[in-house]
């Protein structure tokens, strides 16, 4: 792994490729509410999210808890990961870079809080939703162990990417993902992601990501009467020489 200093990291992260490219910034605490709303709207029709809902309609309490969960998760992530945005939360990418130093106690605390939030939200799940959560976790973890394995510790991980439906088609997501690939190139490292929507495969291919494995959900679930949900694990190799 190539060493890059903070100046090189920020240059790869924030400097525009050209004048026409949308402005990329670090997500700020004041942007989190807008970003959480965009997160919710962006995944309304996502195949994996639909599968995990298991036909349960969102009540006012469930919807409030989900939004609250999104807000607190983003607040934690801007302190423990790299979160970048276009238009102050309309489009967001979350990613992690490999580190030689152990996480600070503050980072570990934030991650613990996020874990508590998700476990609390999952307590609202019914039996079928819990079965699907277990299926998703088991199958996807198996693919990641096989196709990524220990090498993942030295890779850049693109954790989350989304754009509010109202802002889609403007190149926002491309501008953000390009920042992730520029950082990976600067470090001379592979990057990887898991995509829950086959409709996004071409988008990620355009940015150099190729499928290395997939988890298929719902194919043996009699309670699911739609097409199986395919979650692709994708890897991109660095395309330029590191600093």
Q: Residue 174 is part of a domain; what is its CATH number?
A: 3.40.630.30
d(CA 87, CA 167): 9
Q: Inform me whether the pLDDT recorded for 223 exceeds 60.
A: yes
21 found inside a domain: yes
Q: What is the pLDDT of residues 37-82, one digit of tens each?
A: 999 999 999 999 999 999 888 888 888 888 888 999 999 999 889 9
22 found inside a domain: yes
Q: Inform me whether the pLDDT recorded for 243 exceeds 50.
A: no
Sheet of strand 191-195: strand arrangement: 25-26, 82-86, 91-96, 156-163, 191-195, 229-236, 210-217
1 found inside a domain: no
189 found inside a domain: yes
d(CA 12, CA 151): 23
Rg (CA), the chain: 18
Give 74's contacts (C-beta < 8 A, 6+ positions apart). 27, 32, 35, 36, 39, 83, 92
Query: What band does 23 get if pLDDT is binned at 50, 70 and 90?
Result: very high
105 found inside a domain: yes
241 found inside a domain: no
Nearest to 21 by CA among 79, 69, 86: 86
242 found inside a domain: no
Domain that holds residue 118: 6-236
Query: What band does 121 get if pLDDT is binned at 50, 70 and 90?
Result: low
- Are 243 and 7 contacting, i.e. CB atoms less than 8 angstroms apart? no
Structural domain count of the chain: 1
């Amino acid at each position: 792994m190539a060493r890059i200093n903070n100046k090189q990291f920020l240059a790869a992260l924030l400097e525009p490729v050209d004048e026409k490219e949308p402005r990329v910034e670090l997500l700020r605490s004041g942007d989190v509410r807008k970003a959480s709303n965009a997160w919710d709207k962006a995944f309304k029709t996502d195949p994996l999210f639909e599968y995990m809902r298991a036909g349960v309609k969102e009540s006012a309490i469930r919807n409030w808890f989900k939004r609250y969960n999104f807000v607190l998760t983003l607040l934690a992530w801007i302190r423990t990961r790299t979160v970048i945005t276009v238009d102050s939360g309309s489009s967001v990418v979350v990613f992690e870079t490999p580190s030689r130093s152990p996480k600070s106690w503050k980072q570990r605390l934030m991650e613990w809080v996020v874990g508590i939030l998700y476990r609390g939200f999952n307590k609202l799940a019914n039996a079928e939703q819990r079965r699907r959560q277990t299926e998703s976790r088991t199958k996807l973890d198996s693919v990641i162990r096989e196709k990524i394995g220990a090498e993942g510790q030295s890779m850049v991980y693109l954790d989350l990417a989304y754009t509010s439906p109202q802002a889609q088609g403007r190149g926002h997501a491309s501008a953000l993902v390009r920042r992730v690939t520029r950082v990976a190139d600067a470090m001379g490292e592979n990057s990887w992601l898991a995509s829950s929507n086959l409709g996004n495969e071409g988008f990620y291919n355009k940015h150099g990501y190729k499928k290395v494995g997939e988890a298929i959900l719902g194919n043996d679930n009699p309670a699911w009467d739609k097409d199986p949900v395919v979650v692709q694990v994708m890897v991109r190799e660095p395309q330029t020489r590191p600093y």
